[in-house]
């Protein structure tokens, strides 16, 4: 069974759309987790419970690393769809179309500082570092 170009495009777009959506959903779940852990940490620090603060920090670090690993895998899956769509764009010989219409040609020149990859990984990594501080130096945050 052979696929038409249109069917390949729909398949690749479906793949890309699903995994890009999963990436954003995972980040939203992380933000919810982050809020809950921030409340628990602030309360344990306020109460002067260093051991609990340390435990919550270790848990937060572990979960942040897990979300970072999921982000790396999700980006890999998104890129499979992105590469497939880029190849389909090349197959359709869009070279005579205006550059603004050739989305993957335009997107390949984007500034990395304005990418999901950069910001998601920066946020996850910063959380890992902050939670490590809480895990190993809870007294640093005590009044």
Q: Token pair of 112, please?
A: 């990395």
Q: Give the pLDDT score at 143.
A: 62
67-80: pLDDT as tens digits: 999 999 999 999 99
Q: Give the pLDDT score at 94.
A: 67
Task: Report the alpha-carbon distance of residue 52 to residue 117 in Å, rounded.
Answer: 33
Task: Report the alpha-carbon distance of residue 138 to residue 112 in Å, rounded.
Answer: 35
Sign of the Cα torsion 16, 18, 23, 27 reads: positive
Tell me how far apart the terminal alpha carbons of the chain are, to the nearest angstrom: 69
| Entry pTM | 0.85
Cα 83 vs. chain centroid, distance in angstroms? 18
Q: What is the DSSP string of 15-58?
A: HHHHHHHHHHHHHHHHHHHHHHHHHHHHHHHHTT-HHHHHHHHH
Dihedral of CA atoms 7, 13, 18, 20 in degrees, nearest 10, equals: 170
Task: Report the alpha-carbon distance of residue 50 to residue 41 in Å, rounded.
Answer: 10
Task: Report the alpha-carbon distance of residue 8 to residue 12 in Å, rounded.
Answer: 6
Beta carbons of 121 and 33 less than 8 angstroms apart: no
99-127: pLDDT as tens digits: 777 676 667 777 889 889 999 999 999 99
Mean predicted confidence (pLDDT) in 32-40: 96
Kindly list the distances between the CA atom of residue 93 and the CA atoms of 8, 11, 26, 139, in Å, as whole numbers in the listed order: 15, 19, 36, 62
């Amino acid at each position: 069974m052979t696929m038409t170009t249109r069917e390949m495009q729909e398949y690749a777009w479906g793949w890309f759309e699903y995994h890009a959506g999963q990436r954003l959903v995972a980040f939203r779940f992380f933000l919810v987790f982050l809020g809950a852990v921030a409340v628990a940490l602030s309360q344990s620090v306020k109460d002067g419970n260093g051991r609990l603060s340390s435990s919550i920090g270790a848990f937060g670090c572990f979960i942040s690393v897990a979300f970072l690993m999921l982000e790396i895998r999700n980006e890999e899956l998104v890129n499979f769809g992105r590469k497939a769509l880029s190849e389909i764009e090349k197959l359709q010989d869009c070279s005579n179309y205006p550059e603004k219409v050739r989305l993957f040609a335009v997107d390949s020149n984007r500034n990395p500082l304005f990418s999901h990859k950069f910001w998601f990984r920066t946020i996850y990594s910063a959380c890992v570092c902050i939670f490590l501080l809480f895990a190993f130096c809870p007294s640093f945050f005590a009044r």
